[in-house]
């Protein structure tokens, strides 16, 4: 598959169009090609997450002595509880997976260029908030892995210079991981972060519509947004939901042993989307690991500007991006493999 | 949109500046108080000497885990005597366990290891395990801990 460098179409900022104009506006025909629909899948999954998450809050109790039992009851006693929890869990896994695919597509086609920087920056914040949702979510289960995961991650926050200690106290609500910590992570997971993520995702979509889709050479505008494109999105959403129902039935959610404050879980491996950074922390000594992760995240957010500077000096960015993406994905796979082995 | 060449005048500018400053100050103070509301005000920990039992209870070459008011420690007895260490790994706060075969403390989270003197030997831990003072009165052992 030859990846062609793309450009952003003319911006609509300040043209006084109404939202009806956007619905009726034709899209470039390359949006029919499936890699260009990858962004809509995480949005659909976010909807499923909100729905199932709302259902789960009716039974979940965010107290350290009842959290595990309530998750146990949801998983084993309540009618279709295992299914709702499974759907919630599978949606997170798939949301992050498809966000990564979406990022790779945008990265490979350099769709963040010339006016598209805001699309990239807003999207990368959406990715980070989604990862924060993943962390706070798996902490709520309060089994042994999630308890020690909570301890490790909050400690890691505490090693940041200057803001580290106050931020650690803010997250934990005290010196130690306790019931207050669980309540705080619960509030973050069910109130602050979802509202933030919803707003950011909406902002990202509006930004993309206002700044315009990327244009691919030879792609003419004839693909209708409504009803053609919306129909297609709907079909993708329904197909996705069916696929997920199958996934949940084949891999129902499990629950580890309850949190043990006296003994660390024998395997503290986090969910797959954190296993590469987890392994990275294990391999590098001390603060180096955290620093390199933060530098990587910063570089990720600011990549469009790095690209512009390098491209102006005549660097072959299409080739470089391909190499960077291949290296990043390769490194992630190797680190995940090491985590599985260890 | 702002009108360009708007002649604001000194009086109006000063009035707006003072009001603006007051608004920022007031909102900032309120925000700071809200942040204080969220931050825990933990009482400072008091040093305390706790009786942990007789030395003969601890087998030679073994480390016994104990929980002293939330502070988790390991009391290790070797040929050189008895020593107490905090179980909190100095890397990211998981709990270390004593491995008798290897004669080392091992943290399961990121494979940090410490030798029998608490010195960080391998893995990510940046410094040795925290050591607690042991006081011996007859056969009875006391540990100095900081309790909440």
- pLDDT exceeds cutoff 80 at A35: no
From chain B, pick out residues whose CB is under 8 angstroms from the CB of A264: 94-95, 97, 107-109
Q: Mean pLDDT, to the nearest integer, of B64-77? A: 86
Is a pLDDT exceeding 60 seen at residue A311? yes
Question: Does residue A285 carry a pLDDT above 60?
Answer: yes
Q: How do residues A56-103 score in pLDDT, each as one tens digit? A: 999 999 999 999 999 999 999 999 999 999 999 999 999 999 999 999
Q: What backbone phi and psi angles, to 5 degrees, belong to B94?
A: -75, 175
Residue A274 forms contact with B (CB below 8 Å): no
What's the ipTM?
Answer: 0.75
Q: Are A140 and A62 in contact (CB under 8 A)?
A: yes
10 Å CB burial of residue B10 (0-12, 13-18, 19+) is exposed
Check whether A242 has a pLDDT greater than 70: yes
More confident residue, A127 or A24: A127
**Do the Cβ atoms of A262 and B94 come within 8 Å?**
no
- Flag whether pLDDT at A218 surpasses 70: yes
Contacts of A285 in chain B (CB under 8 A): 124, 126
Q: Using the beta-carbon criterion (under 8 Å), do B72 and A166 form an inter-chain contact?
A: no
Give mean pLDDT, residues B31-47. 83
Most confident among A55-69, A275-289, B52-66, B134-148 (mean pLDDT): A55-69
Q: b/e per residue, B13-31, with b = 16+ CB within 10 A?
A: eeeeeeeeeeeeeeeeeee
Task: Report the C-alpha gap between A307 and A178 in whole angstroms.
Answer: 45
* Contact partners, residue A91, CB within 8 Å, separation at least 6: A45, A48, A49, A52, A244
The larger pLDDT score, comparing residue B2 to residue B139, is at: B139
Instruction: State the average pLDDT for chain A.
Output: 88
Q: Are A304 and A116 in contact (CB under 8 A)?
A: yes
Range A4-27 average pLDDT: 70
Judged by CB atoms closer than 8 Å, whether chains meet at B42 and A174 is answered as yes
Select from B45, B67, B89, B110 the residue whose CB has the most chain A CBs within 10 Å, as the one to mutate to test that interface: B110
Residue A1: pLDDT band by 50, 70, 90 thresholds? very low
Check CB contact of B39 with chain A, cutoff 8 Å.
yes
Cα gap B104→B98, rounded to integer Å: 6
pLDDT, tens digit, 9 for 90 and up, residues A111-121: 888 778 899 99
Task: Round to whole Å and give the CA distance between A23 and A19.
Answer: 6
Q: Which residue has the tokens 């909440």?
A: B148
Strand A26-28 to B46-54 pairing: unpaired
Higher pLDDT, B43 or B129: B129
Length of chain A (residues): 342
pLDDT of A132: 94
User: pLDDT tens for residues A146-193?
Assistant: 998 888 888 888 888 888 888 999 999 888 888 999 999 999 999 999
Q: Which residues pair with B81 in a beta bridge?
A: B78
């Amino acid at each position: 598959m030859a990846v062609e460098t793309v450009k952003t179409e003319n911006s609509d900022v300040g043209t006084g169009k109404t939202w009806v104009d956007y619905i009726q506006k034709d899209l470039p025909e390359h949006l029919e090609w499936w890699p260009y629909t990858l962004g809509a899948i995480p949005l659909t999954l976010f909807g499923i997450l909100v729905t199932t998450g709302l259902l789960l809050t009716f039974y979940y109790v965010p107290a350290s002595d009842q959290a595990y039992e309530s998750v146990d009851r949801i998983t084993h006693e309540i009618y279709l509880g295992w299914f709702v929890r499974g759907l919630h869990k599978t949606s997170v896994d798939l949301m992050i997976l498809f966000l990564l695919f979406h990022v790779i597509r945008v990265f490979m086609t350099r769709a963040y260029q010339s006016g598209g920087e805001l699309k990239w920056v807003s999207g990368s914040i959406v990715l980070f908030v989604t990862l924060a949702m993943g962390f706070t979510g798996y902490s709520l289960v309060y089994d042994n892995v999630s308890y020690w995961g909570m301890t490790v991650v909050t400690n890691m926050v505490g090693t940041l210079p200057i803001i580290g200690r106050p931020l650690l106290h803010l997250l934990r609500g005290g010196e130690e991981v306790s019931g207050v910590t669980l309540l705080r992570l619960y509030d973050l997971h069910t109130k602050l972060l979802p509202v933030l993520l919803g707003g950011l995702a909406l902002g990202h979509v509006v930004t993309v519509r206002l700044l315009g889709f990327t244009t691919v050479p030879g792609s003419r505008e004839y693909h209708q947004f409504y009803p053609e494109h919306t129909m297609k999105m709907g079909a993708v959403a329904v197909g996705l939901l069916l696929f997920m129902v199958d996934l949940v039935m084949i891999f129902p959610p499990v629950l580890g042993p309850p949190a043990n404050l006296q003994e660390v879980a024998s395997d503290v491996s986090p969910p797959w989307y954190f296993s590469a950074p987890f392994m990275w922390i294990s391999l590098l000594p001390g603060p180096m690991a955290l620093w390199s992760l933060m530098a990587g995240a910063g570089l990720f957010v600011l990549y469009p500007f790095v690209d512009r500077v390098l491209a102006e000096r005549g660097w072959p960015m299409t080739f470089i991006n391909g190499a960077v993406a291949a290296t990043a994905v390769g490194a992630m796979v190797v680190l995940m493999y090491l985590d599985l082995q260890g | 949109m702002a009108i360009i060449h708007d002649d604001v005048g000194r009086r109006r500018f000063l009035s707006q500046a003072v009001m603006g400053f007051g608004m920022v100050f007031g909102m900032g103070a309120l925000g700071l108080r809200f942040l204080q509301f969220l931050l825990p005000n933990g009482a400072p920990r008091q040093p305390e000497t706790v009786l942990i039992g007789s030395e003969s209870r601890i087998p030679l070459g073994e480390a016994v885990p104990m929980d002293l008011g939330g502070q988790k420690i390991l009391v290790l007895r070797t040929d050189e005597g008895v020593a107490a260490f905090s179980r909190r790994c100095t890397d990211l706060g998981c709990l270390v366990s004593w491995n008798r075969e290897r004669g080392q403390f091992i943290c399961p989270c990121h494979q940090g290891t410490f030798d029998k003197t608490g010195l960080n030997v391998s893995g990510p831990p940046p410094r040795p395990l925290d050591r607690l003072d042991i006081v011996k009165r007859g056969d009875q052992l006391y540990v100095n801990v900081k309790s909440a």
